[in-house]
């Protein structure tokens, strides 16, 4: 995707003159996007068609199209080509990289989401008698967060960390209940079992998990998030952020569906917290 990355990668496949062009562009990409093909050719000390051929080699339609791609790469705030954290990275580098990769993952997640399913899940949630959120490990905190959000809506909402409690809760579920199961991989055995139990008791099971996973096959509805996880760190990071954002979306859809008066009620819930807080000074 990123064209600057592409240039450095393919550099070896370029010809001598094309490499001249590549060097000039990499050295000063900001100037490149504001130059015509003629000036760029002169700067690189090659002919204009060479610049054009260079652009095509990078799978762009031509020079103007190349400039567009380049402009986008520069805009992303991704001067750093590699978003993966490396051994020798200092705090400034890994901070930058983690922010950038998180944002990039959100972008990917956004594109992978099926709006129709979002809508249907919101439908289900608004009509539910009881809503349960279950997840294990890293996804437990996501379920925890969902509890916090939906609790404000004054609907019966359930969350357990303990798998036995989760099972018991699902055994007692009935037709108008919705069980939301969260798992990045969708391979956690006990969650799959819980999905089965919930369905056996006529509850509707919604999975926030990956497509074609064992868990997804047990769900009535699957909100799949295809998030590239940086496996170097051996920790779920981006996937969990995407799940949380999805929770935000469901919660938002929920409040919108309930209408304006409902939102006023939310405000009251928030105001209730005031007693537990220090007042904000009004002099700033």
Report the site for DNA in 64-103 (rule: CB under 7 A): 64-65, 67
Question: Beta partners for 135?
Answer: 182
Report the site for DNA in 124-163 (rule: CB under 7 A): none
Binding status of residue 58 toward a copy of itself by CB under 8 A:
no
Q: Residue 240 corresponds to which tokens in the numbers above?
A: 């969990």
**One of 9, 28, 47, 119 touching DNA (CB under 7 A):** 47
Binding status of residue 48 toward DNA by CB under 7 A:
yes
Binding status of residue 61 toward DNA by CB under 7 A:
yes
Distance between CA 226 and CA 54 in Å, rounded? 33
Binding status of residue 99 toward a copy of itself by CB under 8 A:
yes
* Residue indicated by tokens 């000063």: 28
Distance between CA 109 and CA 227 in Å, rounded? 6
Q: Using CA atoms in the order 180, 202, 166, 130, what is the torsion angle rounded to 10 degrees?
A: 60
Binding status of residue 266 toward a copy of itself by CB under 8 A:
yes
- 219 and 197 Cβ atoms separated by less than 8 Å: no
Binding status of residue 55 toward DNA by CB under 7 A:
yes
Binding status of residue 18 toward DNA by CB under 7 A:
yes
Binding status of residue 193 toward a copy of itself by CB under 8 A:
no
Q: How far is the CB of 200 from a copy of itself (least distance, A)?
A: 19
Binding status of residue 32 toward DNA by CB under 7 A:
no
Distance between CA 10 and CA 56 in Å, rounded? 13
Q: In what order do the strands lie in the sheet with 130-135?
A: 157-159, 130-135, 177-182, 204-209, 221-224
State how far Cα 68 lies from the chain centre.
Answer: 25
> What DSSP character marks residue 280?
P
Residue nearer to DNA on the CB measure, 70 or 179 = 70
- 3 and 32 Cβ atoms separated by less than 8 Å: no
Distance between CA 219 and CA 87 in Å, rounded? 40
- 214 and 187 Cβ atoms separated by less than 8 Å: yes
Stretch that binds a copy of itself, among 51-59, 166-174, 195-203, 237-245 (CB under 8 A): 237-245
Distance between CA 78 and CA 2 in Å, rounded? 9
- 220 and 204 Cβ atoms separated by less than 8 Å: yes
**One of 119, 127, 129, 154 touching a copy of itself (CB under 8 A):** 119
Say if strands 157-159 and 204-209 run parallel, antiparallel, or are unpaired: unpaired
Q: How far is the CB of 174 from a copy of itself (least distance, A)?
A: 27
Stretch that binds DNA, among 30-38, 136-144, 159-167, 175-183 (CB under 7 A): 30-38
Stretch that binds a copy of itself, among 6-14, 39-47, 102-110, 200-208 (CB under 8 A): 102-110
Q: How far is the CB of 49 from DNA (least distance, A)?
A: 4
**One of 65, 155, 199, 258 touching a copy of itself (CB under 8 A):** 65
- Contact partner at residue 10 from DNA, a copy of itself, none, CB < 5 to 8 Å by partner kind: none
Residue nearer to DNA on the CB measure, 8 or 47 = 47
**One of 26, 58, 81, 138 touching a copy of itself (CB under 8 A):** 138
- Positions touching DNA (CB under 7 A) are 15-18, 36-38, 45-50, 52-53, 55, 61-65, 67
């Amino acid at each position: 995707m990123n064209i600057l990355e592409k240039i450095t990668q393919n550099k070896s496949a370029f010809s001598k003159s094309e490499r001249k062009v590549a060097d000039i562009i990499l050295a000063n990409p900001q100037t490149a996007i504001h130059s015509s093909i003629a000036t760029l050719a002169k700067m690189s000390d090659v002919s204009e068609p060479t610049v054009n051929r260079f652009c095509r080699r990078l799978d762009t339609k031509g020079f103007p199209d190349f400039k567009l791609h380049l402009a986008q790469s520069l805009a992303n705030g991704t001067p750093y080509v590699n978003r993966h954290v490396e051994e020798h990275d200092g705090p400034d580098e890994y901070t930058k990289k983690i922010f950038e990769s998180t944002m990039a993952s959100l972008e990917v997640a956004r594109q992978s989401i099926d709006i129709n399913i979002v809508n249907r899940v919101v439908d289900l949630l608004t009509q539910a008698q009881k809503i349960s959120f279950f997840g294990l490990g890293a996804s437990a905190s996501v379920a925890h967060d969902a509890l916090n959000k939906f609790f404000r809506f004054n609907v019966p909402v359930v969350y357990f960390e303990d798998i036995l409690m989760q099972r018991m809760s699902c055994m007692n579920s009935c037709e108008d209940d919705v069980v939301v199961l969260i798992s990045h991989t969708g391979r956690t055995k006990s969650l799959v079992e819980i999905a089965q139990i919930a369905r056996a008791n006529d509850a509707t099971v919604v999975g926030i998990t990956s497509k074609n996973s064992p868990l997804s096959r047990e769900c009535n509805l699957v909100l799949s998030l295809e998030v590239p996880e940086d496996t170097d760190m051996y920790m779920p990071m981006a996937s969990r952020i995407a799940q949380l954002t999805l929770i935000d979306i469901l919660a938002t859809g929920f409040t919108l569906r309930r209408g304006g008066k409902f939102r006023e009620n939310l405000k009251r819930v928030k105001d209730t917290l005031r007693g537990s807080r220090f007042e904000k000074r009004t002099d700033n």
